[in-house]
Amino acid sequence: MSVKTTKQFFSISSTDASNYTAANDSFNINNMNFNFNNTSLTNIQTSHGQKCTFNPVNMSIDWDYINISEELKNNKFTVIRNINTTITFTIPDDSYNAINLCSTIQGLLNNGQSGVQGANNTAGSMAFIVQYDAVSNRISIMYTAQPVPIQIQTYPVINGVQYDMTRILGTRRSDSLSKNQTVAATATNGVLTNPVYFPFSIDLKIADVVRIHSNVAKRFFELKNNRLTQNSVLFELVVPNISNGTTLVFENFNSDNYKQEVYSNFDNLIIEIKTKDGKLLPFKANCQFNMTFTIEREVEEIKPEDRLKNLQNFNQLSSV
């Protein structure tokens, strides 16, 4: 007996998923179903002695997901005005990078109806500037008019619920209150002259690792609740330092690291994109997903000389 290896390439896109719809926002690339309707290619359980492995070749994902939201409890901060007045601000659920986050917070603080009241007791009169420094990856929030003492709380408890913007704004839970600003900052053309930044770099990622799950995955194990447990992970990737609104590109330069043996037919293939804690990554509507993968089969094959020998034995038996 000899082993014959075959390899087929498959290309899938989110727009080819059976549950895809462009009519509304109900479809999300974090949960896709693919029906291949070709069992001659996708049946791997029909051949005796067949070994089958899945291997990703490349993948691209529109990296645009909801990273600030009420569900994540990272969308609220408070402003403490003049020591004894606390104002709560809510950032709308959306996909944020450093630039649009700064503009959103600045708009909230300077809103003429609900913004922070300055010394003149007028909402939105303090002319806050929210400034991002790309070199240090930090944010500064300072007012430039109508001075009253101001501090910003990034780890507030609001109506009994804990909210956490420490990673978003660059603080720590143990030191989540900004320095007390009592004097108006100076600025030129909307840029702070001497900005006081939050102490740490910002982190807008809700996942440092992204996992591609599938119904055909049978070889991934992890320690959960002090027990080694099987998980439906095809492969996982460390998320590179990219901003929301860009494209995550993966190319497999070491197939042994991502190759996984599969045991079930895959005429119906389910692909899910999750965080390490098992939650579906909340991509925005109309994001796209593309992946090319291979299915490699090792099939036991009778050598020609063995086939001839078997035929000769058959003929001898037939002549008896």
**Is residue 319 very low, low, confident or very high in pLDDT (cuts 50, 70, 90)?**
low
Q: What is the pLDDT, as a whole number, of residue 308?
A: 64
Q: Are strands 289-301 and 51-63 parallel, antiparallel or unpaired?
A: antiparallel
Of the residues 141, 162, 192, which one is the last residue of a structural domain?
A: 192
- Both 99 and 157 in a single domain? yes
The residue ranking higher by pLDDT, 25 or 303, is 25
Residue 181 within any structural domain of the chain: yes
Whole-structure pTM value: 0.82
Question: Which two structure tokens, joined as six digits, stand for 263?
Answer: 């045991």
Question: Which two structure tokens, joined as six digits, stand for 131?
Answer: 């400034």
Total tally of structural domains belonging to the chain:
2
Residue 316 within any structural domain of the chain: no
Question: Which two structure tokens, joined as six digits, stand for 301?
Answer: 């094959």
Quick check: 181 and 198 in contact, CB under 8 A?
A: no
- Both 88 and 181 in a single domain? yes
- Per-residue CA distances from 83 to 122, 173, 317 (Å): 17, 20, 102
Q: What is the pLDDT, as a whole number, of residue 318?
A: 61
The per-residue pLDDT for range 86-106, each reduced to its tens digit, is 999 999 999 999 999 999 999
320 pLDDT above the threshold of 80: no
